[in-house]
Amino acid sequence: MMVNAVVSELKEYVEGVIETHGGNPGDLIQILREIQDNRNYLSPQTLRDVAEELGLSSGYVLGVAEFYSFFYTTQKGRYHILFSDSITDRMLGKEALMMRLCERLGIAVGETRRDGRVSVDNTSCTGVCDQGPAILVNGYPLTRLTVKRIDRIVSLVEQNVPLDQWPEGYFTVADNIRRKGLLLDGVFEPGVALQTALQKGQDAILGEIRRSGLKGRGGAGFNTAMKWEYCRQESGEHFVVCNADEGEPGTFKDRVLLQSYAHQVIEGMTLCAFVIGARRGFIYLRSEYRYLLEALQGVLEQRHRSNLLGNSILESDDLNFDIQIHLGAGAYICGEESALIESLEGKRGIPRNRPPYPVSHGYLGQPTVVNNVETFAAAANIGLKGGDWFAAVGTPKSSGTKILSISGDCAHPGIYEFPYGVTIEHILQQCGAEEILGVQVGGPSGTFISEQETHRCLGFDDLATGGSFMVFNKERDVLEIVRNFTHFFAHESCGFCTPCRVGTSLIKDQIDKICAGHGSAGDLAQVTQLAGLVKNASHCGLGQTAPNVVLDTLERFPECYEHRLKELSFEPGFDLDDALEISRQMTGRDDAGAHLEQGGI
Ligand code: SF4
């Protein structure tokens, strides 16, 4: 009877949540998020109830729940602690701090304590690498961890102190802006760019964006005016999507733009809506930035009150536009625009076949512009100050500025805005980096350059980046960096295509073997071949760029790999005799013939 009451209470609760979403299966991810926030995890019964209510199969709903790292199908602690496992967190001592926390709480990594109080695990970069090592506690970031802070966290957890009573400032994330330029320096009055746009008209504003030479700031660098123009030419309902899923390890500039420059970003989206004729837009906010949600919703409400969102914006019948925030659930691949759209539609974030592109077949198969947070912020400023103002800075092929997230071995990590064309050497001087081994420009999917290449320039024609700029000094072990990145890609591969799903795992295993001192010249040859294969045969950008760090470092630092190799020409990747232990136990055999090295099998 008790069990039945619990089951029917759960069902009623699920029905209530789904009702608030109008029973829309496209809201599946938001529905699962809400239920999990309330119930701690997604039990098999919950998933069945959700499936039934939405008219979906249980397998489909389970598939979606298991795709995203921030959905849990097993119980988590009331304090769920996730350690950011970016390479820069590791360089700041994350591993030792995590071990200390686990030891003192009497728990292993990946476990929930028997009393249900606490669970601890790793997660990919949380977007605060300038203030690491960092953790998320129930989704709220706590930065600059030290031994003292870890010990304090242990006592707060053991005393069951609610998060809103933890010491003041624990969950404050500073902007940490070190250098301002075109976008971060100016005073931006909400609505002024829209007023200008309404006076000039759609064509004139598109002309300004074209004249500015603005290219997408997410890294791919597609011409923004061209994207908007292609989209507006298509018939159907138009959508504007802001890609705020900055998951590239070492990138955190969107965090600052969303936290302190949200009006610019939203005004840029509204400007785009004006140009392409969209009435609806979405901000796809990465799960790690969940803590920014309420503030962002506050900005949307404020803009509604000021008649900068909603119907007849600034009294114009030509501009009706509203924005919803869609919270992601932890999947790096959703930074890829077609995977992001799939996720917006309530599905697993599997990249679509392209063409057709989102400009013609995007959200719900309709024409959609997807742009990065920084691109929209730049567009708002261009709408106000004109294309020439923007194009006067930077280089002919890379106009304007780039906001960098600088982390790693430098005296002043943080946010820097530089004109395109700046040399790497100048950036290193500004952030206080010395005796460098190399720089990872553009995150793990970008380019690893050595100290001999600091004359190179930031720009689409040389070193393009979505914003990540990780500095490594001469004390660092290249292979540890490669190991961290290869683990990241193997974890984040969506599994859709074989070259990436299998290849990223095999590369990770080979690098682990080499790092452990068991690699041979044969392994090196194999990993090189694999890297080429994954790069050339993968379906989307993730697989196509995942091997970059292996190939870049093999080219620039071959000696680092060679020093770790064994003399042997070959050693198997795993111990076959050890792998047969389970079979021996099952059959109850342990005689000589059941052991590989004794020649029995
Ligand atoms: Fe998924 Fe990787 Fe294939 Fe992209 S390349 S579709 S991430 S498996």
> What is residue 59's DSSP assignment?
H
534 CB near ligand 1 (under 6 Å)? no
Quote the ligand 1 centre to 247 CA distance (angstroms). 15
Ligand 1: which of 337, 542, 545, 548 to mutate, most ligand atoms within 8 Å of CB?
542
Q: Mind listing the pLDDT tens digit for each residue in 536-577?
A: 999 999 999 999 999 999 999 999 999 998 765 556 656 667
Q: What is the mean pLDDT of the segment spanning 214-227?
A: 93
Of the pLDDT bands very low, low, confident and very high (cuts 50, 70, 90), residue 3 is confident
Quote the ligand 1 centre to 94 CA distance (angstroms). 29
Instruction: Tell me how far CA of residue 68 lies from CA of 343, 350, 541, in angstroms.
Output: 10, 11, 19
pLDDT at 93 over 90: yes
Query: Please, what CATH class does the domain formed by 79-164 belong to?
Result: alpha beta
Give the C-alpha separation, 190 to 263, whole Å: 6
Strands 238-244 and 368-372: parallel
Give the C-alpha separation, 177 to 433, whole Å: 17
pLDDT at 59 over 50: yes
pLDDT at 471 over 50: yes
The length of the chain is 601
Give the C-alpha separation, 191 to 195, whole Å: 6
User: Ligand 1 atom closest to Cα of 351?
Assistant: 6
pLDDT at 596 over 80: no
Question: Which residue's CA is minimally distant from atom 3 of ligand 1?
Answer: 497
Token output for 441:
């420009």
Quote the ligand 1 centre to 534 CA distance (angstroms). 10
Give the C-alpha separation, 114 to 570, whole Å: 45
Helix (H) or strand (E) segment spanning residue 441: strand 436-441
123 CB near ligand 1 (under 6 Å)? no
Winning range, highest mean pLDDT, from 2-11, 105-114, 569-578 = 105-114
Tell me the backbone φ, ψ of residue 588, rounded to 5 degrees.
70, 20
Question: Which residue's CA is minimally distant from atom 4 of ligand 1?
Answer: 540
Phi-psi region of 424 (alpha: psi -120 to 50; beta: other; left: phi over 0): alpha
- Give the pLDDT score at 424: 98
Mean pLDDT of the chain: 94
Instruction: Tell me how far CA of residue 391 lies from CA of 65, 382, 427, in angstroms.
Output: 45, 10, 21
Q: Does domain 2-67 have CATH number 1.10.10?
A: yes
pLDDT at 72 over 50: yes
351 CB near ligand 1 (under 6 Å)? yes
- Give the pLDDT score at 601: 37
- Give the pLDDT score at 186: 78
Give the C-alpha separation, 516 to 521, whole Å: 14
Quote the ligand 1 centre to 453 CA distance (angstroms). 31
> What is residue 107's DSSP assignment?
-
Phi-psi region of 286 (alpha: psi -120 to 50; beta: other; left: phi over 0): beta
What are the residues whose beta carbons fall under 8 Å from the beta carbon of 472, sequence distance 6 or more? 408, 409, 436, 437, 438, 439, 440, 478, 481
Give the C-alpha separation, 348 to 371, whole Å: 21
Quote the ligand 1 centre to 359 CA distance (angstroms). 21
Give the residue carrying structure tokens 């970069």.
125
Task: Say if CB 121 and CB 110 are below 8 A apart.
Answer: yes
The separation between the first and the last C-alpha atoms of the chain, rounded to the nearest angstrom, is 56
User: Ligand 1 atom closest to Cα of 543?
Assistant: 5
- Give the pLDDT score at 598: 47
Q: What is the mean pLDDT of the segment spanning 44-58?
A: 97
Strands 238-244 and 278-285: parallel
Q: What is the mean pLDDT of the segment spanning 171-199?
A: 95
Ligand 1: which of 534, 539, 544, 548 to mutate, most ligand atoms within 8 Å of CB?
539
Q: Which residues pair with 418 in a beta bridge?
A: 402
Task: Say if CB 315 and CB 301 are below 8 A apart.
Answer: no
Q: How many CB atoms lie within 10 A of CB 159?
A: 8
Quote the ligand 1 centre to 351 CA distance (angstroms). 7
Quote the ligand 1 centre to 223 CA distance (angstroms). 25
- Give the pLDDT score at 599: 41
Ligand 1: which of 67, 69, 333, 486 to mutate, most ligand atoms within 8 Å of CB?
333
Ligand 1: which of 501, 506, 507, 533 to mutate, most ligand atoms within 8 Å of CB?
501
Give the C-alpha separation, 518 to 19, whole Å: 57
Instruction: Tell me how far CA of residue 111 lies from CA of 21, 103, 108, 319, in angstroms.
Output: 33, 12, 6, 51
- Give the strands of the sheet with 140-142, arranged side by side: 118-123, 79-84, 135-137, 140-142
- Give the pLDDT score at 575: 67
Q: How many CA atoms lie within 13 A of 158 on its CB side?
A: 12
Cα–Cα–Cα angle for 307, 310, 315, rounded to 5 degrees: 50
- Give the pLDDT score at 587: 78
Give the C-alpha separation, 283 to 485, whole Å: 28
User: Ligand 1 atom closest to Cα of 504?
Assistant: 2
- Give the pLDDT score at 571: 60
> What is residue 25's DSSP assignment?
G
Quote the ligand 1 centre to 495 CA distance (angstroms). 6
Quote the ligand 1 centre to 332 CA distance (angstroms). 11
Domain ranges across the chain: 2-67, 79-164, 178-391, 401-476, 479-562
538 CB near ligand 1 (under 6 Å)? yes
539 CB near ligand 1 (under 6 Å)? yes
Give the C-alpha separation, 335 to 326, whole Å: 13
543 CB near ligand 1 (under 6 Å)? yes
Give the C-alpha separation, 467 to 374, whole Å: 10
What's CA 489's distance to the chain center, in Å?
A: 12
Give the residue carrying structure tokens 């959905």.
71
Token output for 388:
């020439």
User: Ligand 1 atom closest to Cα of 494?
Assistant: 1
What are the residues whose beta carbons fall under 8 Å from the beta carbon of 451, sequence distance 6 or more? 436, 437, 438
Phi-psi region of 571 (alpha: psi -120 to 50; beta: other; left: phi over 0): beta
491 CB near ligand 1 (under 6 Å)? no
493 CB near ligand 1 (under 6 Å)? yes
228 CB near ligand 1 (under 6 Å)? no
pLDDT at 585 over 80: no
Give the residue carrying structure tokens 């003399």.
567
Q: Which residues pair with 177 in a beta bridge?
A: 415
Query: Please, what CATH class does the domain formed by 178-391 belong to?
Result: alpha beta
For the entire predicted model, the pTM comes to 0.92
With H, G, I as helix, E, B as strand and everything else as coil, classify residue 473: strand
Helix, strand, coil distribution of the chain in percent, nearest 5? 50, 15, 35
- Give the pLDDT score at 600: 38
500 CB near ligand 1 (under 6 Å)? yes
Give the C-alpha separation, 223 to 460, whole Å: 11
Q: Which residues pair with 370 in a beta bridge?
A: 241
333 CB near ligand 1 (under 6 Å)? yes
Give the C-alpha separation, 83 to 71, whole Å: 16
Q: Does domain 479-562 have CATH number 1.20.1440.230?
A: yes
Quote the ligand 1 centre to 443 CA distance (angstroms). 18
Q: Does domain 401-476 have CATH number 3.10.20.600?
A: yes
Phi-psi region of 588 (alpha: psi -120 to 50; beta: other; left: phi over 0): left
Q: What is the mean pLDDT of the segment spanning 313-339?
A: 96
- Give the pLDDT score at 474: 97
What's CA 567's distance to the chain center, in Å?
A: 40
pLDDT at 579 over 90: no
What are the residues whose beta carbons fall under 8 Å from the beta carbon of 211, sequence distance 6 or more? 386, 387, 388, 391
497 CB near ligand 1 (under 6 Å)? yes
